[in-house]
Amino acid sequence: MKTNEIQGSKLYSVDVRLKTFKNWPFNDKNRCNVRNMAEAGFYSVSTGDDDADAAKCFLCGKELDGWEPNDDPWSEHKSHAPKCAFAQLGKTEDELLCSEFLSVIKQYMINELNQQAEAIKSQLDNKAKTVRRTCLKL
């Protein structure tokens, strides 16, 4: 998946996260495999060979790289992002209760809307600066 495709994706779904791991450096024999990464809430944000193991949590946004073959994605997630609601649940998508899954989706949507609002605010701030400069020149 390309970056612009990821932004509109429903990354709360493990199946969508799995599809992002195109060139993951570890295989199914390793603890740090694609399935375990996706189940722990991560999706790949790799842009090439230099960061082939870069992954980000769909919910808290914590980005990690430098993974080792025997790293446990759940343990690493909890260690580096102890306040992440998904990591705190510590359950795969199939293990979540309906109420837990809905809570995760709700938080995901809130985060997405906040990111969109921040982007719009930034655009408006930049436009305001341009208008202000134009007015000062008059």
β-pairing, 55-57 vs 63-64, is antiparallel
> What's 48's DSSP letter?
S
pLDDT by residue, tens only, the chain of 138 residues: 444 445 456 899 999 999 999 989 999 999 999 999 999 999 999 987 778 899 999 999 999 999 999 999 999 999 999 999 999 999 999 999 999 999 999 999 998 899 899 999 999 999 999 999 888 887
With contact defined as beta carbons under 8 Å apart, do 15 and 9 qualify? no
Q: How many domains does the chain have?
A: 1
Cβ of 30: how many Cβ atoms within 10 Å? 16
pTM over cut 0.85: no
CATH code, 26: 1.10.1170.10
What is the extent of the structural domain holding 19? 3-137
